[in-house]
């Protein structure tokens, strides 16, 4: 069965800390891996990763994919309270439609 | 662009009632999706559509129906509401398939409680 696993499921850090969120997957016909940030409402897109070893960066956030080990990490440096959210990892699967399999999410709380 | 819009934002239903969750997008996207998200869980696909007039079941379709008469609209219907359908419902859309560069854009969600 196709699945996406995230760890930890929840995390509490202090402002200024660096965090690493993990995502592993077992998905057939892999197309890409996606990271979303979900605050109180809808998920918002962060990164799409399709190739191993190429880091994507956006400000204090970065992510990398290892297609051999079926693994991705999302790093957040110098965390701020505004980073508090659920971070969803998802895998886009090659099917007849744009199928995306979501992990359960990591709930990050950044305290002052 | 308004993006993906959903109505209502909140709704409380009694067991056995019916309702329609509305979803619209103004980005001319071909693909549209309905997900449900239960507490502490990832999103589960209910139904999807690859274009007007074409819909298909996702992972958890039981108890729901959809239609896609236009490119813009993709309503989700609950016929006989059950407490197990208490959830947050997200509609999403994406432009095309197979380019490896597209992503899904999500609406703000509808929080549904069935009592």
Q: What are the pLDDT digits (tens) for A83-99?
A: 999 999 999 887 766 67
CA-based torsion, B113, B42, B58, A1: positive or negative: negative
Query: CB–CB of A100 and B104 under 8 A?
Result: yes
User: By CA distance, what is A3's nearest residue in B?
Assistant: B42
Assess B42–A contact: CB distance below 8 Å, yes or no: yes
Contacts A45 to B, Cβ<8 Å: 103-105
Q: Tell me whether residues B104 and A48 touch, CB distance under 8 A.
A: no
Look at residue B65 in the predicted model and tell me its pLDDT. Answer: 97
Cβ of A48 within 8 Å of Cβ of B103? The answer is: yes
- Contact residues, chain B, for A9 at CB < 8 Å: 40
Identify the pLDDT of residue A25: 96
Note whether B2 contacts A: Cβ–Cβ < 8 A. no
pLDDT tens for each residue of A61-88: 999 999 999 999 999 999 999 999 999 9
DSSP letter for A16, please: T
What pLDDT is recorded for position B25?
A: 95
**Is B88's Cβ below 8 Å from some Cβ in A?**
no
Mean pLDDT of the region B8-25: 96
Q: Give the strand pairing for B110-114 and B64-66.
A: unpaired
Is 60 exceeded by the pLDDT of residue B98? no
Of B50, B100, B108, Cβ closest to residue A41: B108
Is the pLDDT at B52 greater than 80? The verdict is yes
Lowest mean pLDDT of B59-63, B71-75, B88-92, B94-98, name the range.
B94-98
Q: How confident is the model at residue B6 (pLDDT cuts 50, 70, 90)?
A: very high
Q: Is B100 on the interface with A (CB under 8 A)?
A: yes
């Amino acid at each position: 069965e196709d699945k996406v696993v995230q760890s930890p499921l929840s995390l509490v850090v202090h402002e200024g800390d660096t965090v690493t969120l993990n995502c592993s997957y077992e998905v057939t016909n892999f197309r890409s891996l996606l990271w979303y940030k979900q605050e109180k409402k809808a998920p918002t897109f962060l990164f799409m990763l399709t190739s191993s070893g190429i880091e994507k960066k956006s400000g204090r956030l970065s992510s990398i994919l290892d297609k051999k080990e079926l693994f991705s990490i999302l790093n957040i440096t110098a965390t701020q309270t505004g980073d508090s959210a659920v971070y969803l990892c998802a895998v886009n699967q090659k099917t007849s439609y744009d199928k995306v399999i979501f992990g359960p999410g990591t709930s990050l709380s950044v305290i002052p | 662009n308004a993006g993906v819009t959903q109505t209502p934002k909140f709704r409380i239903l009694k067991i056995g009632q019916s309702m329609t969750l509305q979803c619209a997008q103004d980005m001319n996207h071909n693909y549209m999706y309905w997900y449900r998200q239960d507490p502490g869980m990832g999103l589960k696909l209910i139904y999807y559509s690859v274009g007007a007039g074409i819909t298909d079941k996702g992972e958890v379709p039981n108890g729901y129906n959809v239609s896609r008469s236009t490119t813009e609209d993709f309503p989700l219907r609950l016929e006989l509401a059950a407490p197990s359908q208490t959830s947050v419902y997200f509609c999403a859309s994406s432009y095309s398939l197979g380019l490896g560069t597209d992503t899904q854009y999500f609406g703000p969600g509808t929080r549904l409680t069935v009592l």
